Amino acid sequence: MEPVLSVEELQQITVDAFPDWNVPIVESLSDDTLVLAQPLSERNGRPGGTVSGPTMMAIADSAAWLVILAHIGPVLLAVTTSLHIDFLRKPDIADLVARARLIKLGRRLAVVDVELTSRGSSDLVAKAQVTYSIPPRPSR
Amino acid sequence: MEPVLSVEELQQITVDAFPDWNVPIVESLSDDTLVLAQPLSERNGRPGGTVSGPTMMAIADSAAWLVILAHIGPVLLAVTTSLHIDFLRKPDIADLVARARLIKLGRRLAVVDVELTSRGSSDLVAKAQVTYSIPPRPSR
Amino acid sequence: MEPVLSVEELQQITVDAFPDWNVPIVESLSDDTLVLAQPLSERNGRPGGTVSGPTMMAIADSAAWLVILAHIGPVLLAVTTSLHIDFLRKPDIADLVARARLIKLGRRLAVVDVELTSRGSSDLVAKAQVTYSIPPRPSR
Amino acid sequence: MEPVLSVEELQQITVDAFPDWNVPIVESLSDDTLVLAQPLSERNGRPGGTVSGPTMMAIADSAAWLVILAHIGPVLLAVTTSLHIDFLRKPDIADLVARARLIKLGRRLAVVDVELTSRGSSDLVAKAQVTYSIPPRPSR
């Protein structure tokens, strides 16, 4: 599947959507896969020095949203309908990296597989499957 | 199942765990069910005037954690192993209310069913099933 | 929500859909909740005398499908888009009972919460959330 | 992660576990990934000529179980604690192929990512994340 938005356009959408937050960085996009990085801030921490579960869920959701927009354009009406996440390992205190792969782009639903790692490690810290409802469009 | 912590003790744990955040309120606890309210702040909003998905996931996770602690005591090593959530309706701009029911308390895993509504409405806005890994203890 | 099909009509749909199988029984239907029972057969067993996971997933899926049909009519194009299930306890060797509650009936998606018990016990053996895609229709 | 069982040993476990069923075939095993094929039988079909959802859930569960046994040995006490599946496309009438990747092998829980395709196609028909509880053992 060929994306219809560029990394730069997706970064701008991200900046607009997270105005007062620790803005994630769109690192790359190729075919069906987008890589999004979440810089660590103290706000994302937990006692014991790890990244909180809600921070991991939020970055998984954002990465899924962006890889869908990359393929359907800046459709602001895409909404999450479900999210499933398995937490696998405690992340190090390092930036989180989400690799989001678009595994279904239908007329009404899009499904994204998301792998989360810590920067500099290949071990998965979490794994998610995220479904979005999208405005009606021709099926691919 | 009889809780071993009171609403007041659980509220103190909540305050300690969310020091710089919009602290949720433990509203009630009876047998296997705990009710947690999340006051709305601008930080939780989304364009269009609704509550963000990550805010709903965070409150579901917190309510699950608290109803487990209510039954096993203040065991800080309980960690989320998985979370599944279906988003059902766009919440109104009102406090979120999470009703968390402990449906399994095993030796190693606890599972909680969470219903989310907006204050003043009985319509579900989201529904989650959350699993925690807990330190070994006698099965019930 | 008022159902549009009766228990008898739903039982006939079930018989037609499971021609060569151990047909489940529609036991009751009221508002948003349908109760479906799966008689135990040797085919559903596992060594050690319990009910297999796939049998529990199949009955959860069937109960979800039937409670949706109960509210939208015999629309054969409803298809499962996702299923999440937590297995909580090993079921006894007894009929399985699924209590399916329709928690969202939208224009395009329906979501059902399913509780599974063994006949004669109130302990949950499994808990599922099931999403179906349904043909476009007016939202409720 | 190096497997401790061979394809032949896993096939024998499969034959023993599914005595009166359409036995799936263990096709390959390398490091963390096992490929399991489910020959199609009429019993797995649905009106309209596709494979039933429960058949897909059963093969996903079996593939997850086998890739775990491949790494911990023939431990019959491994039990599914949760399964999440997204159904993506209607499968053709062809054998189902499950590619199960072990993404966590902890002391108490193992998590497996499963991709389902139809024989001869690379399009995913379903995607699952499956968690098993395993008897206590040293963490890796």
CA distance A94 to A102: 25
In this predicted structure, the answer to whether residue D46 has a pLDDT above a threshold of 80 is no
Span C18-28, average pLDDT: 83
- Give the list of residues 6+ apart from residue D16 with CB closer than 8 angstroms, or none: none
Cβ-Cβ contacts under 8 Å, A64 against chain B: none
Give the model confidence (pLDDT) of B103-117 as tens digits: 999 989 999 999 999
Q: What Å distances lie between residue D42 and B16, C19, C78, D39, CA to CA?
A: 59, 12, 21, 10
In this predicted structure, the answer to whether residue D140 has a pLDDT above a threshold of 50 is no
Per DSSP, the three-state class of B9 is: helix
Gyration radius of chain D's alpha carbons: 14
- At residue A19, the pLDDT reads 65
Residue C19 sits at the chain D interface (C-beta within 8 Å): no
CA distance C80 to C73: 16
Put simply, the answer to whether D53 touches C83 (Cβ < 8 Å) is yes
Task: Name the token pair of B61.
Answer: 């996770």
Per DSSP, the three-state class of A5 is: coil
**In this prediction, does ipTM exceed 0.90?**
yes
pLDDT-derived band at C75 (thresholds 50, 70, 90) equals confident
In this predicted structure, the answer to whether residue D128 has a pLDDT above a threshold of 50 is yes
Q: What Å distances lie between residue C40 and A95, B47, D18, CA to CA?
A: 51, 51, 18
Put simply, the answer to whether B85 touches A82 (Cβ < 8 Å) is yes
pLDDT-derived band at D51 (thresholds 50, 70, 90) equals confident
Give the number of other CB atoms < 10 A from CB of residue C17. 17
Phi, psi (rounded to 5 degrees) for B59: -70, -35
Mean pLDDT of chain A: 89
Give the model confidence (pLDDT) of D1-41 as tens digits: 799 999 999 999 999 887 666 799 999 999 999 999 998 87
CA distance B21 to chain C (A): 31
- Please indicate, yes or no, whether the overall pTM of this predicted structure exceeds 0.90: yes
Residue B82 sits at the chain D interface (C-beta within 8 Å): yes
A136 and A75 Cβ atoms separated by less than 8 Å: no
CA A105 from centre of chain: 16
Span A91-115, average pLDDT: 94
CA distance D63 to D36: 6
- At residue A140, the pLDDT reads 47
- At residue A42, the pLDDT reads 62
- At residue B52, the pLDDT reads 86
Put simply, the answer to whether D84 touches B81 (Cβ < 8 Å) is no
C9 vs B91, residue with greater confidence: C9
In this predicted structure, the answer to whether residue A138 has a pLDDT above a threshold of 70 is no
CA distance B91 to B113: 19
Q: By percentage, how much of chain B surpasses pLDDT 90?
A: 68
Write B15-24 long-range contacts (CB < 8 A, 24+): B17/A47, B18/B62, B20/A43, B24/B59, B24/B62, B24/B63
Query: What is the enclosing helix (H) or strand (E) of C111?
Result: strand C109-118
Task: Name the token pair of A92.
Answer: 């190090």
Give the model confidence (pLDDT) of C80-137 as tens digits: 999 999 999 998 878 999 999 999 999 999 999 999 999 999 999 999 999 999 987 6
CA A99 from centre of chain: 7
Pick the residue from chain C with its C-alpha nearest to A104: C81
CA distance A73 to B122: 36
Torsion sign, CA atoms A75, A62, A68, A1 = positive
Q: Which of C:121-140 have CB within 8 Å of B?
A: 124, 127, 129, 131
- At residue C140, the pLDDT reads 47
CA distance D21 to chain B (A): 32
Size of interface A-D (CB pairs under 8 A): 34
